[in-house]
């Protein structure tokens, strides 16, 4: 499984981690809810805000995962990691 | 034989007379010299007691932390003390007590003062005659206490770099500014605000900075359940936490009586009010704990003592012993109510610093406006309950709003800049594994943690392998 390429904490026990092939979103009191999104299925990652950032990960099906109150460097690390993995996998033209 | 005894007697008389002859040549110490020496000794002893409070904070925070984070707590205490000492020496002391304007001191950087000009350069402390080095040592210990309060709320999830950067700004600028306003001849001094040993300057300042940092930092993972209810994350060692409380209690005898900065009979009265308040605070918090939860919470008892000590800090020299009992008891009650309220608001405060130091500071500062006895009001006016009217209470409230607001906003700005640039929170894996192994490369209790992993716990993280990401070392 290996260590994630990038990971960050958002508000409400939400944790996002980027692995070489997927983005994993963990939530719940004990991190019991794990949702995995293939890198191929991520259509866009957006950041808004400067101090308490919102990281929005949009899937190809139109679903948007909003992670709130993140630090800007953490949000950027997630966005860059996803985009780099998509680039490496040849998913961008 | 007679000649020998005559010789011996003469020799003994000569030897016995030598010290007297020497003193006569150099001038015998005057009463003023002896008084100054005793004052200096007292201030140094008090400074050491206040510095010893760092050990109290260390034990308190270690006790309330989980085992995996204790190393980071003590490392943080050490580095903050070091930064506070150097920054306060370089700029903080001058900003706080240097002669200047109503907002800030502008003289006396690096304690560099021309011979015989100490009182001119540091007008804010000209009321005490002890040497400049003693004044500095006593005041820098206060600054370090205020800084230590900041981190009680931010335990177990904060990046070490944040401690370092914020300590520079807090000890160098934020704390000295508030110190100047109230103690250094600033605008609140002029208005007659009563804050004998620093309920507002030291404790409320630390708590407001802590609140600002915690709001931006967010709660620890697992602190709130899926319904958003607060979950208790118990500390790993309650005896250590109580030892910390007792060390702080002892240190407070330097904090409050030491603030006279002179050996005067009143130090005994101040020690008495300090003791009575702390004792009442323990009982107040424990009674609240029993009333609400039907058990005697040890941690709450400790926090009750601290809240009461914080509250009596402003009033210790101005109030009668009976009033200190009321102030201390109420501080314990208010602390408990605030702790529950803050917890439900979603602010994760592992140590209860916002409740104990923040609300304790506010209540203590206001209490002088209520309980100050006319014969003890060396500064400002008597309290409301002694017929002094609302003037002093109003000044106290103004001081709380001004100082608390300034520290909160300035700290919020610093933490916001840190969050937007380097980030203030560790990565989730680091938080779950513990800061000791990721930030410091060792465990506070290496044997115990290793045993835990060997007995079927999760894989023991490796500081090299687990600290490395695709972007470099985390």
**Quick one: tokens of B315?**
């009033």
Q: What is the C-alpha separation between A25 and A18, in angstroms, rounded?
A: 9
Mean pLDDT of A39-45: 93
How far B90 CA sits from the closest chain A CA (Å)? 31
Tell me what pLDDT residue B42 has. Answer: 97
Tell me what pLDDT residue B379 has. Answer: 87
Give the distance, in angstroms, between the CA of residue B357 and the centroid of all CA atoms in the same chain.
9
Asked if B436 contacts A88 with a C-beta cutoff of 8 angstroms, the reply is no
- In 3D space, the residue among A51, A47, A48, A36 whose CA is nearest the CA of residue A79 turns out to be A47
Tell me what pLDDT residue B469 has. Answer: 43
Query: Does B424 lie at the interface with A, CB-CB under 8 angstroms?
Result: yes
Asked if B110 contacts B90 with a C-beta cutoff of 8 angstroms, the reply is yes
Residue A29: list chain B partners with CB under 8 A. 222, 224-226, 231
Contact B224 A12 (CB under 8 A): yes
Facing B425 at nearest CB: one of A6, A26, A71: A71
Q: What is the C-alpha separation between B245 and B332, in angstroms, rounded?
A: 14
- In 3D space, the residue among B148, B145, B200, B187 whose CA is nearest the CA of residue B401 turns out to be B200
Tell me what pLDDT residue B474 has. Answer: 32
Residue A78: list chain B partners with CB under 8 A. none
Residue A31: list chain B partners with CB under 8 A. 221-222
pLDDT tens, B86-118? Answer: 999 999 999 999 999 999 999 999 999 988 899
Neighbours of B127 (CB within 10 A): 9
Facing B421 at nearest CB: one of A7, A15, A73: A73
Q: Which residues of chain B have pLDDT under 70?
A: 1, 4-8, 10-26, 449-474
Tell me what pLDDT residue B438 has. Answer: 86
Contact B425 A73 (CB under 8 A): no
Per the document, the length of chain A is: 93
Q: What is the C-alpha separation between A70 and A84, in angstroms, rounded?
A: 20
Report ipTM for this prediction: 0.94
**Quick one: tokens of B464?**
């090299």
Residue A6: list chain B partners with CB under 8 A. 469-471
Q: What is the C-alpha separation between B317 and A2, in angstroms, rounded?
A: 62
Query: Does B413 lie at the interface with A, CB-CB under 8 angstroms?
Result: no
Q: Which residues contact B242 (CB under 8 A, 6 or more apart)?
A: B63, B298, B302
Residue of B nearest to A6 (CA): B469
Q: In degrees rounded to 5, what are phi and psi of residue B13?
A: -60, -40
Query: Does B217 lie at the interface with A, CB-CB under 8 angstroms?
Result: no
Tell me what pLDDT residue B191 has. Answer: 95
Mean pLDDT of A50-73: 95
What is the value of pTM for the model shown?
A: 0.90
Facing A71 at nearest CB: one of B226, B419, B470: B419
Report helix, strand or coil for B28: coil
Q: What is the DSSP letter of B460?
A: P
Strand locations in B21-123 (E) = none
Contact A50 B216 (CB under 8 A): no
Q: Between A and B, how many CB-CB pairs are < 8 A?
A: 68
Contact A72 B423 (CB under 8 A): yes
Report helix, strand or coil for A52: coil
Neighbours of B413 (CB within 10 A): 13
Query: Does B296 lie at the interface with A, CB-CB under 8 angstroms?
Result: no
């Amino acid at each position: 499984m290996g260590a994630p390429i990038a990971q960050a904490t958002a508000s409400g026990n939400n944790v996002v981690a980027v692995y070489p092939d997927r983005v994993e979103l963990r939530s719940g009191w004990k991190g019991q809810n794990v949702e995995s999104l293939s890198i191929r299925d991520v259509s866009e990652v957006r950041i808004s805000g400067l101090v308490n950032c919102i990281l929005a990960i949009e899937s190809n099906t139109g679903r948007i995962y909003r992670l709130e109150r993140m630090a800007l460097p953490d949000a950027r690390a997630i966005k860059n990691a996803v985009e780099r993995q998509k680039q490496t996998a040849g998913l961008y033209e | 034989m007679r000649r020998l005894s005559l010789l011996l007697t003469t020799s003994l008389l000569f030897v016995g007379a030598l010290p007297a002859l020497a003193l006569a040549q150099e001038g015998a110490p005057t009463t003023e010299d002896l008084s100054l020496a005793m004052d200096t000794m007292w201030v140094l002893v008090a400074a050491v007691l206040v510095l010893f409070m760092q050990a109290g904070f260390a034990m308190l925070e270690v006790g309330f932390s989980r085992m995996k984070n204790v190393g980071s707590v003590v490392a943080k205490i050490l580095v903050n003390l070091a930064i506070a000492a150097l920054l306060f020496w370089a700029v903080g002391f001058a900003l706080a007590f240097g002669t200047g304007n109503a907002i800030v001191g502008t003289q006396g950087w690096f304690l560099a003062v021309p011979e015989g000009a100490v009182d001119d350069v540091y007008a804010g402390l000209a009321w005490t005659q002890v040497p400049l080095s003693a004044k500095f040592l006593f005041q820098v210990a206060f600054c370090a206490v205020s800084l230590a309060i900041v981190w009680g709320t931010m335990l177990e999830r904060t990046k070490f770099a944040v401690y370092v950067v914020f300590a520079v700004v807090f000890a160098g600028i934020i704390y000295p500014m508030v110190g100047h306003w109230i103690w250094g001849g600033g605008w609140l001094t002029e208005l007659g605000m009563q804050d004998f040993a620093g309920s507002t300057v030291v404790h409320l300042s630390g708590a407001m900075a802590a609140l600002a940092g915690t709001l931006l930092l967010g709660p620890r993972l697992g602190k709130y359940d899926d319904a958003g209810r607060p979950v208790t994350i118990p500390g790993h060692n309650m005896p250590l936490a109580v030892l910390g409380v007792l060390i702080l209690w002892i240190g407070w005898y330097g904090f409050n009586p030491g603030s006279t900065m002179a050996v005067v009979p009143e130090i005994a009265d101040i020690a008495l009010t300090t003791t009575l308040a702390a004792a009442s605070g323990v009982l107040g918090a424990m009674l609240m704990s029993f009333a609400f939860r039907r058990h005697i919470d040890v941690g709450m008892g400790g926090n009750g003592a601290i809240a009461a000590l914080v509250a009596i800090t402003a009033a210790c020299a101005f109030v009668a012993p009976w009033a200190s009992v009321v102030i201390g008891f109420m501080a314990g009650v208010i602390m408990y109510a605030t702790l529950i309220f803050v917890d439900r608001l979603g602010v994760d405060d592992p140590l209860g610093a916002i409740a104990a130091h923040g609300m304790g500071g506010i209540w203590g500062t206001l209490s002088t406006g209520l309980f100050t006895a006319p014969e003890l009001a060396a500064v400002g006016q008597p309290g409301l309950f002694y017929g002094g009217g609302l003037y002093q209470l109003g000044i106290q409230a103004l001081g709380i709003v001004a100082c608390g607001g300034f520290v909160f906003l300035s700290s919020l700005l610093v933490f916001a800049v840190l969050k937007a640039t380097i980030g203030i929170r560790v990565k989730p894996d680091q938080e779950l594994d513990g800061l000791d192994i990721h930030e410091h490369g060792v465990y506070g209790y290496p044997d115990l943690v290793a045993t835990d992993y060997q007995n079927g716990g999760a894989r023991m993280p490796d500081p090299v392998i687990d600290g490395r990401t695709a972007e470099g070392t985390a």
